């Protein structure tokens, strides 16, 4: 099987020739720039640059040779942008290692060593990375003091939120007049030059945009106490999301295999809202998004949602979500065997292959191998599984542990030859 055939077989609940694997096809299945730098040193590939494509989370864009080394089967089509050395400039990571930022991103270092980003006039702080920290924090919440009476300025305010203003590729090029033509041309090139499955990150966040605009504490309160304004905001977001989806589907809907949405709906101890509130406010809108994709493209729907979401999953599946990530198995009611038994016939698990925190960063190679093999045995039966860590590989993960993880995946695939 080709990588693309392998991934599509898994999504369609057929056991492929081996379990497909993802590294960095999404900004929730990637690798910290520091961890990637350490990995390159460990494998003797210091000739390769450490390019930070997701500047908020400080995630590296792995070189194609590294993706091939670990056996990755999926590519983010954003990787086809910013492909020349001139698109990047040199910076230094928190651990002192060299790396590169895209040329458009220019955070300002402060006397205390922290980094800040500002709005266009340089007066409002939008995000901050403290000294020796490894990601940026959002500092500006446009509607923290209350909802506006009308939404004429919503686009401008959304562009001041770091997740949109400092978006990763390909969206860092979205303002260019020929962006949609570029997107299609570059996606076609990837389709012609690689056998990997292709994925486009498309956001379409609903709950999360509420937290980005109102702040988490306010928006959670609003779900219970001010649903009128919540729905007004969600309706405005849907107008914008559907306009983007229309362009994405027209540009690459016949080329790309998977479209990735995002909406963190869980915490470790349970979902961030009751199933009733999800069904009332979010499920109908998720269904509209999924129905649009299904009607206007050949892409499969993927959602990134952290935390304990098993109580919400039946309604999310009914809305049309096919693929779940990161499969946070250390959260309440997210045990791998339970998830596979309850939902394995109805969706694909993209993640859950090993605990990123508590195992991959501190476990011995032997313990890492054991957990990988156990998770793959559970999740891979009958297809419906793409191996990935539980969220991004963190800065403190030793390179030896990364190698041990991918060696375990290869070992499982060698001894569990499946379909052809």
Distance of alpha carbon 312 from alpha carbon 314, whole angstroms: 6
pLDDT on residue 416: 85
Contacts for 420 with CB less than 8 Å, ≥ 6 apart: 1, 17
Q: Is residue 138 located within the same domain as residue 281?
A: no
pLDDT of residue 418: 54
Residues of the chain with pLDDT under 50: 419-420
pTM of this prediction?
A: 0.97
Asked if 271 and 321 sit in the same domain, the reply is yes
For residues 97 and 104, give the distance between their C-alpha atoms in angstroms, rounded to a whole number.
21
What are the backbone dihedrals phi and psi of residue 323, each rounded to the nearest 5 degrees, phi first?
Answer: -130, 135
Counted domains in the chain: 2
Strand, helix or coil for residue 12: coil
User: Does 261 share its domain with 125?
Assistant: no
Domain match, 328 and 389 both:
yes
Residue 99 lies in a domain: no
The answer on 258 and 135 residing in a single domain is: no
* Residue-range definition of the domain harbouring residue 17: 3-85+162-415
Closest CA to 50 of 40, 42, 156: 40
| Exposure string for 175-209, b = 16+ CB within 10 A, e = fewer | eeeebeebbbebbeebbeebebbbbbbbbbbbbbb
At 165 the pLDDT is 97
Is the domain of 293 the same as that of 395? Answer: yes
Q: Is 266 helix (H, G, I), strand (E, B) or coil?
A: strand
What pLDDT does residue 106 have?
97
CB 68 within 8 A of CB 54: no
Residues 154 and 29 in one domain: no
Q: Decide if 237 contacts 43 (C-beta within 8 A).
A: no
pLDDT value at residue 420: 42
Q: Which has the closest alpha carbon to 255: 324, 183, 171?
A: 183
What Cα–Cα distance (Å) separates residue 320 from each residue in 197, 227, 286? 20, 24, 8
296 and 260 together in one domain: yes
Residues 183 and 116 in one domain: no
Domain ends where: 161, 195, 224? 161
- What is the CATH classification number for the domain harbouring 324? 3.20.20.210
CA Rg value for the chain: 21
């Amino acid at each position: 099987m080709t990588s693309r055939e392998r991934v599509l077989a898994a999504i369609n609940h057929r056991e492929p020739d081996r379990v497909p694997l993802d590294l960095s096809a999404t900004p929730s299945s990637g690798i910290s720039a520091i961890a990637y730098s350490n990995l390159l040193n460990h494998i003797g590939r210091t000739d390769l640059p450490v390019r930070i494509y997701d500047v908020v989370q400080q995630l590296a864009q792995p070189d194609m040779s590294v993706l091939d080394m670990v056996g990755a089967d999926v590519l983010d089509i954003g990787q086809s942008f910013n492909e020349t050395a001139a698109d990047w400039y040199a910076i230094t990571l928190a651990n002192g290692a060299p790396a590169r930022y895209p040329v458009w991103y220019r955070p300002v270092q402060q006397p205390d060593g922290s980094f800040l980003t500002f709005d266009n006039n340089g007066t409002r702080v939008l995000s901050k990375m403290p000294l020796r920290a490894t990601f940026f924090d959002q500092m500006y919440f446009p509607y923290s003091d209350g909802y506006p009476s009308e939404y004429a300025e919503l686009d401008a305010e959304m562009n001041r939120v770091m997740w949109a203003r400092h978006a990763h590729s390909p969206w860092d090029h979205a303002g260019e007049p020929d962006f949609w033509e570029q997107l299609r041309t570059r996606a076609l090139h990837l389709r012609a030059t690689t056998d990997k499955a292709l994925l486009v990150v498309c956001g379409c966040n609903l709950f999360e945009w509420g937290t980005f605009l109102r702040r988490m504490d306010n928006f959670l309160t609003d779900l219970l106490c001010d649903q009128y304004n919540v729905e007004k905001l969600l309706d405005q977001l849907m107008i914008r999301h559907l306009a983007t989806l229309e362009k994405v589907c027209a540009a690459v809907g016949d080329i790309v295999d998977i479209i990735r949405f995002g909406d963190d709906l869980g915490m470790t101890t349970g979902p961030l809202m009751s199933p009733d509130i999800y069904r009332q406010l979010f499920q109908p809108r998720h269904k509209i998004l999924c129905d649009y994709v299904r009607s206007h493209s050949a892409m499969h729907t993927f959602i990134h949602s952290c935390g304990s979401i098993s109580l919400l999953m039946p309604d999310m599946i009914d809305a049309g979500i096919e693929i779940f990530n990161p499969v946070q198995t250390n959260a309440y009611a997210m045990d791998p065997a339970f998830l596979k038994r309850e939902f394995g016939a109805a969706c694909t698990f993209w993640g859950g292959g090993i605990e990123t925190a508590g195992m991959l960063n501190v476990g011995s190679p032997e313990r890492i191998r054991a957990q990988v093999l156990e998770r793959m045995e559970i999740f891979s039966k009958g297809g419906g599984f793409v191996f990935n860590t539980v969220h991004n590989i963190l800065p403190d993960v030793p390179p030896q542990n990364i190698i041990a993880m991918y060696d375990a995946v290869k070992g499982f695939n060698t001894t569990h030859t499946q379909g052809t």
